């Protein structure tokens, strides 16, 4: 079984930036279900397809480079669990409900030539165990586990509606108040193994298995050891809506070290996803350091989609706007809209609010449209980041120093700690930030 697993990725060449060893460029071929092979050079920025529609599609149709479109989904609402349960237990395979749950729009994707469409799914709980929810009064509500045998239809649908690449669904680690761990490493490996087994059946697509930087070094070793045993060398790292910084850097170091030891530093492929886009944002900030764009300097091959943490109900409390320092609800609402509409600026590596000082003006949209239309705002933000990743790739391929390019960015000038953690501490691979034993 191990020998028969095919990662469906062929490495043509692998190179490392001498001044930033965490920056890796690979030329690869993905086996494709479209009957062709297209060479891809990494790093590559995936575009969040959640916001693609007939109006935003023209913004990226003219991109000539290889494109990956990702649709991130975090399954935590009871209503979503119910839809999945009804889907797998129903008489008919209701694919319309499946597409709605994952926010997939095949009619839009069919307009995208030579592109990859990647749903990335994270379950908040182990779907094959009873789910228990405790409300504020301490009352427990129990929901039965999903039927594992019947769940196969969900995975078959996932395979059918993925194009070119498949990400095996992930299950979030972490503790639940009054209940303990969401899932144990052994249960996690069992579930991922089941997902992968179904998805690899008569498969010719690159399949990526998940891991998370927020888990212990012991858990990382256990999971990577299993992946090595199965020859699963395509890895997607799920940040669970966390920052590409702080405590998650320790997890990334540990994961990369174990992958280096298990597969060799050039023999695995990293897909980063579900990343918080900004570092410690505040609603009143005009500019915020980028988080997601740091992943391209941490051995990232695909810089995947953003996902922000789930926040429930805070803005419904009485006088909530006053506690946040606003004189009225209207003032708070206006600031919140600006806060959510910040766009990446490649000249500074900050996310900036839309204003006269910064308006990407791609497609000649007004500031009002960029602030008020989330679809347009998101696709333009993704496009700007896509172009910056391609720009860096061009600098690398022309032999120019990436570190010099980054030193000119205001975010790194203002934040020595970010530059030192991500860039300067990697002067040699043998003594880089990846090569030490992590204690967690």
Query: Tell me: the pLDDT tens digits for 190-221?
Result: 999 999 999 999 888 999 999 999 999 999 99
pLDDT (0 to 100) of residue 186? 97
pLDDT above 50: residue 267: yes
Is the pLDDT reported for residue 426 higher than 80?
A: no
379-400 per-position pLDDT tens digit = 999 999 999 999 999 999 999 9
pLDDT at residue 287 is higher than 60: yes
pLDDT value, residue 440:
31
C-alpha dist (Å) from residue 83 to 97, 122, 336, 409: 7, 16, 31, 46
3-class secondary-structure state, position 36:
coil
Helical spans, DSSP H, in 238-319:
247-263
Buried-state track 48-57, b at ≥16 Cβ within 10 A, e below 16: bbbbbeeebe
Model-level pTM? 0.93
pLDDT of residue 46: 97
Joined together, the tokens standing for residue 314 give 């805070």
Check residue 184 and report its DSSP letter: -
Q: Can you tell me the distance from the alpha carbon of 54 to that of 351, in angstroms, rounded to the nearest whole number?
A: 26
Residue 311's pLDDT is: 76
- Mean pLDDT, the chain, rounded, equals 90
Instruction: Identify which has the larger pLDDT, 321 or 220.
Output: 220
Segment 45-49 shows an average pLDDT of 96
Q: What's residue 3's pLDDT?
A: 47
Sorted by where each starts, the structural domains of the chain and their CATH numbers stand as 9-310+341-431 (3.20.20)
What is the residue whose two structure tokens read 């209207």? 330
**Residue that the structure tokens 């298995």 belong to:** 209
Q: Is the pLDDT of residue 159 over 60?
A: yes
Q: Residues near 312 by Cβ (< 8 Å), separated by ≥ 6? A: none
Contacts of 156 (CB under 8 A, 6+ apart): 198
- Residue 48, pLDDT > 70, answer yes
- The pLDDT of residue 316 is 58
**How would DSSP label each residue in 376-437?**
HHHHHHHHHHHHHHHHHHHHHHTT--HHHHHHTSHHHHH-HHHHHHHTGGGSSGGGSTTSS-
Contact 426, 252 (CB under 8 A): no
CA angle 295, 248, 240 (to 5 degrees): 85
Q: For residue 356, what pLDDT is reported?
A: 78
pLDDT for 438 beyond 50: no
Residue 388 burial by CB count (10 A; 0-12/13-18/19+): exposed, middle or buried?
Answer: buried
């Amino acid at each position: 079984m191990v020998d028969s697993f095919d990662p469906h990725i062929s490495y043509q060449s692998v190179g490392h930036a001498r001044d930033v060893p965490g920056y890796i460029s690979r030329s690869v071929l993905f086996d494709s279900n479209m009957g062709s092979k297209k060479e891809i050079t990494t790093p590559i920025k995936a575009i969040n397809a959640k916001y693609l529609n007939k109006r935003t599609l023209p913004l990226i149709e003219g991109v000539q480079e290889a494109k990956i479109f990702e649709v991130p989904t975090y399954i935590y609402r009871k209503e979503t669990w119910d839809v999945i349960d009804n889907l797998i237990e129903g008489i008919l395979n209701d694919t319309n409900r499946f597409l709605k749950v994952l926010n997939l729009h095949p009619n839009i994707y069919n307009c995208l030539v030579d592109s990859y469409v990647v749903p990335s799914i994270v379950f908040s709980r182990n779907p094959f165990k009873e789910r228990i929810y405790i409300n504020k009064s301490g009352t427990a509500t129990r929901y039965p586990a999903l039927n594992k045998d019947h769940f196969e239809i969900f995975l078959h649908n996932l395979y059918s509606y993925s194009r070119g690449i498949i990400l095996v669904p992930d299950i979030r680690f972490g503790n639940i108040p009054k209940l303990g761990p969401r899932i144990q490493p052994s249960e996690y490996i069992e579930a991922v193994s089941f997902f992968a087994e179904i998805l690899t059946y008569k498969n010719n697509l690159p399949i990526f298995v998940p891991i998370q930087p927020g888990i212990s070094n012991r858990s990382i070793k256990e999971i990577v050891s299993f992946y090595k045993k199965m020859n699963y060398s395509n890895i997607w790292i799920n940040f669970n809506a966390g920052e590409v910084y702080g405590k998650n850097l320790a997890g990334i170091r540990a994961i990369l070290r174990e992958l280096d030891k298990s597969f060799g530093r050039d023999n695995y492929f990293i897909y980063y996803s579900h990343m918080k886009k900004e570092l410690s944002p505040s609603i009143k900030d005009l500019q915020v350091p980028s988080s997601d764009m740091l992943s391209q300097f941490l051995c990232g091959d695909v810089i995947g989609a953003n996902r922000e943490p789930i926040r429930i109900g805070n803005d419904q409390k009485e006088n909530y706007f006053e506690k946040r320092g606003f004189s009225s609800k209207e003032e708070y609402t206006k600031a919140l809209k600006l806060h959510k509409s910040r766009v990446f600026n490649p000249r500074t590596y900050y996310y900036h609010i839309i204003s006269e000082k910064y308006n990407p003006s791609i497609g000649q949209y007004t500031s009002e449209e960029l602030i008020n239309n989330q679809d347009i705002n998101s696709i333009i933000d993704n496009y700007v980041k896509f172009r910056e990743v391609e720009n860096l790739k061009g600098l690398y391929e022309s032999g120019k120093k990436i570190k010099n390019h980054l030193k000119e960015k205001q975010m790194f000038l203002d934040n020595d700690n970010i530059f030192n953690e991500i860039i300067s501490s990697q002067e040699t691979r043998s003594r880089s930030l990846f090569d030490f034993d992590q204690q967690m």
